Each structure stands twice: as C-alpha cells, then as structure tokens.
Amino acid sequence: MSGRRHLYLTGATALVLALTGGLTAPATAQAAAAQAAVAQAAVADPARATLGAGDGWGSAGTGTSGGAAAVASRVFTVTTWEEFRAALAVPGTEPRIVKVKGTLNATAAGCSAFEAPGYDFPRYLADYDPAVWGHDTVVSGPQEELRAASAQAQGRAIKAYVPANTTVVGIGRNAGIVGGSVQIQGVDNVVIRNLTVESPLDCFPQWDPTDGATGAWNSEYDSMVVYGSTHVWIDHNTFTDGAHPDSSLPRYYGEVYQQHDGELDVVRGADLVTASWNVFADHDKTLMIGNSDSAGATDRGRLRVTLHHNLFRNVIERAPRVRFGQVDAYNNHFVVPATGYAYSLGIGQESQLVAEKNAFTVPAGVHVGTILKKWKDAPVTTVGNLVNGRPVDLLAVHNAEFPGEVLRDGAGWTPTLRARVDNPRAVPGLVGHRAGAGGLR
C-alpha cells in the first residue's frame, strides 16, 4: 500500500472527483469555483440522479443508484433501437448510463419483417374459425406453428435487456420507445426515467378457442418487465397505447384482435421496486405485481413495491393487481374511465396492499365499490382516500356493494419508506402537473 488515502465514493461525488482530478485541493479560487460548478451540474443531471433515502421499497438496503457513477466511457447517447440494444450489450457490470434521444422504433420495418416463410394470416383465420375448429381444443397445426415462429422472431427483435447498475434516461421532452419491450431481468440496481413508452403491438396474437365461452385473442410483450430483479426505480415515464388504442384494433371471430399486453409487470421474485411520478394511460391490463397464484416459491416474501405520485388515467384494470407482495400505493391519482371500467386495485393471492391517501376521480354511473376487486382472500388497508374530493372508506363501500366478495381489513404491515406524503386533496394537481415523461424537476 502506498501512503495515499483510499476513499470509497459513489454517485455525484465520484463523478466530481473523476472530472476534477481526484482529491487534490484547488490551487486557486477559480479552481474551487470550477469544482463547485461541476458538482452542481452532476447533481442536476437527471442521468446522475439516485433514488433518495427512504423513497419507497427501492431505497431499502443498498438503495438504487443505477449508473449514476458511470465514467465517461460508459455513457452512451443513442438515437435508434439498434444503438440502444448495442449500448445495453456492452460487456461489464460497471455503472453505465444510456441516454435516449428522440424516439426509438423497434418495429420500423413492420410486422412482415418477422413473418416465418409460409405464414398466411387469412389461412390462419380460415383454419381456426370456430365454425370449423370449434371451442373444445387449443389450436394446432402448420399455421399455428408458423404463427408461433413469427412471434418468436418478433420477440427477439423487440426485447431489450437492461444490465445491472444501469440508468436509462430520456433526454428532453420527446424521448421514448415505440414497439419495444424493456426487460429488466435477473439484475440489480436499475433506473429508468423520462421515457414515453408506447405499448408494443403483438403482430401475431394467438387465438385460444377455449378462453372463456367464446374464445379470445391473447397477446405477448409488455412495455416494461421487472423479472427477478432487485432495486429498481421507474420514475417520470409515460406508458401509453399511443397511436394504437384498443378501440382501433380489428375484430375476428367476433372478438377484439388484442395486440397489447401490460404496460408494466413486476414478476417472478422481483423485489424492492419504486415506481414514482409515472403516467399510465388509456390501457386495459396495466400493471401486474405477481403473475401467477402458483409462483409462491419465487414470489413469497418478495414483490415489495412502492407506487407513489403516479397518474392512472383511463385504464380499465390492474392499477395494480397484486399477488404475494407488500405493496404501498399512496398519493396516486386514478382517473376512472366512463365506459369499460373493471377495477383499479386487485387483491390477489397472499397480497398485502396498503392504499392510502390516493385520489380517485370517478364519473357518474360508475360504482365506487368497483375500485377494489377481490381475486383471492387477502387483507387490504385503505385509509385516507378521496373519491371526487370526498373522504370514502373504499373497503366498507366495496363490502357493502359486493357482499359475496367481502375483503378483510388490515394488510398486516405499516409502510415506513415514504420520503414525501401529500394531502390527497393536492394529489390531482401535483400529479397532473409533474408526472410523466418530460416532467422532471
């Protein structure tokens, strides 16, 4: 060992020292001012932001810093989907920052680019027409095999895997991803900020004649998936169906040709996630925490997620639907659609949801009791929530309206990781003004 002192530095401090030549004291006032300017710039740069102490489950333990301490050679600016995937694929787990400039289109070549030779959609429709195939067995045969091969080709092209110790951040107000699926899978310490993410369109949905009484089209590809990962911060993003809302989708066999899956899923042992100041808009199956009742081996004791200061606008269901996890949902604004609404908060297998100090804007004709949905017997805490500006006991109203689906009071735990809690009366204005991509302050 030499006589030099060794200090362990993280985040903006490490960046400042890297840019200013280490620990040497400034020789002049001008040098001191320069160092101070660099420090201020480092803190102000959204790409260098870290999740604050006590800010939700993502701040527990080692916290979430993403790539905040990345050196210059591991900071990438990308303008195409191909560049984005290449930046994420650069070897090494040292901190990295990927700055997204403009809109990255993962499906610019169109669905035909993924079609397996011989796949023919009109032939698919003819082969599996319920009048021919019936409703008793799942589809099989050459066209189904070619559809599956085409779907696999699309999946390979549109999935981008985010490595550990990474920050992905949009630059400015118009950065985003169209047609891509961001995968945060089996890693630790990831930050995603300031992106408008348009739901990918599944080019090859599968017809399942056994799904329900009349069959259904089922799609793949969530906009963003946290799968078996820990310490994830998803902040100031906008999730939307964009140019392809469900209302624009065609119908075949009398059913909507569903080409959308979820906007955000947190599944398969994922843990310690904070989702803050996001907009989830104009979507059906929006946010799922835990994707299977049978996944207790991976999910029990995990799936700890905080949702705060998010806007759920005109979403049909799953805002969120919860299995297993201890989920803290507070200071969110739910703008309920006038038609098609199913529920907002889904109570599922062994879930422990705390829903506190949220604001709900509910149109005439929608029953307030439908805000909660019982999927399985599990406890839930609902405290201090407002509906159209008035205090409402969501649990009591649900149980009164649905006596056959009574929910139990008391989630069994008390959230402590809350950096900022606002009066729910202020939430619609705060969230409406500040949430979503382009709204970083």
Residue written as token pair 């900071």 = 75
Rounded Cα–Cα distance for residues 317 and 196 (Å):
20
| Beta bridge partners of residue 372, listed in sequence order | 345
Closest C-alpha to 14, from 33, 36, 45, 42: 42
Cα separation, 193 vs 381, whole angstroms: 29
Report the candidate in 63, 62, 89 with the shortest Cα–Cα distance to residue 76: 89
State yes or no: is 321 an active-site residue: no
85, 96, 313, 318: the catalytic one is: 318
Q: What is the largest CA-CA distance in the chain?
A: 85
Spatial distance between the Cα atoms of 125 and 410, rounded to a whole number of angstroms: 49
Cα 46 to Cα 312: distance, rounded to the nearest angstrom:
24
Tokens 């599996």 sit at which residue? 128
Distance separating the N- and C-terminal Cα atoms of the chain: 44
CA distance 416 to 341: 32
Q: Which amino acid does the sequence have at 355?
A: A
Rg over CA atoms, the chain: 23
- Known catalytic residues are 318
